[in-house]
Amino acid sequence: MPVDDPIVEAAIDQRRKFFEAKRDHLYQIEIFYCILLEGVRSKTGVGTALARLLRDSKGAIAELKSQFTNDSMKALLHTHIDRDLQRLSFDHPARKLLLDCFPMSTGAFRNVVLTGTAGEGKTSLCFELVKELTGSRAKGTSGVEEICLNTTAGPRKITLIYDVTAWRTKTDGHISNEDVALLERMAESSFGTSEEFFVLAVNDGQMHELFRALPSNAPESLRKLEKNLIGLHARNESDCGNRLRLVNLSMVPSEQIMGLCLTAILDRPEWVCFQEENENPLFSESSSLSRITER
């Protein structure tokens, strides 16, 4: 469709005015973008479909069907997008704090509590930890996962609870005996010599609620764990001895996260279009997209 078409220009101008009215000025950034997924299922035709039969039979059949019917709808699964599209990603500032707790070279692991508000990346960091240590994606059945590792100092077991709030079971206002037993094992590991370690992801307020839900006869080791974690949180500190670390994601400045996001976006190689296709009005010096890349 030609760019100089008056109908197209009117539609673009209308859309520009709409976005300007709705634009969020929180960070004084305007981002108008189009994501084009161009992968193995982007190409069309009978020959393309036949060539794809062995490696993507479902996609090949769908393409053949579209050639002889009016059904041109395509379905892209998450796996197809993952395979064909480079993810927009960056290392979270807390990632190193977490990974440093599990050195395979020494086996000197730590127990970790990841806390922060909802959506700050606790579960994603846990998934990255599993991937880093095992080379495989996290499974997280029912929000809990156990991994066994062989370090130079011997075997180690890590139990990850991706969401403590969803994991715990309450009875008469108290968490279950099974949950108490798991937390007791974590406490013993934090202050003892156990070869079993734990990673707990819990929202800020829910950490306090978790300990308030302990039964009155909770073991002394659990009360010690409670006291130390609440103290670390109140003092904005991280480490208690050599076997327990609290990582509070809320302490990472939002400006730092926003800066990392922008760098991940603006450093992508696709922006070369502003040099190679600057005759296109979309990528000219006067376009809003061009102004974004200059900031």
pLDDT averages per 10-residue partition of the chain, 295 residues = 59 69 50 51 63 69 66 57 66 94 96 91 92 90 88 96 86 88 96 96 88 92 95 93 95 88 82 80 74 62
User: Tokens 């969020």 identify what position?
Assistant: 24
Predicted pLDDT at 268: 80
Spatial distance between the Cα atoms of 78 and 101, rounded to a whole number of angstroms: 32
Backbone angles phi, psi at 203, to 5 degrees: -65, 155
Predicted pLDDT at 25: 47
Predicted pLDDT at 179: 93
For the four alpha carbons of 21, 25, 30 and 31, in that order, the dihedral sign comes to: negative
pTM: 0.68
Please count the helices (runs of H) and the strands (runs of E) in the chain.
13, 7
Query: Which helix (DSSP H) or strand (DSSP E) does residue 94 occupy?
Result: none
Predicted pLDDT at 94: 93
Burial 113-123 (b: 16+ CB within 10 A, else e): bbbbeeebbbb
Predicted pLDDT at 78: 57
Between 204-212 and 220-235, two packed helices, what is the crossing angle to 10 degrees?
150
* Antiparallel, parallel or unpaired: β 196-203 and 154-161: parallel
Strand, helix or coil at 101? coil
* 295 close to 289: Cβ distance less than 8 angstroms: no
Predicted pLDDT at 291: 67
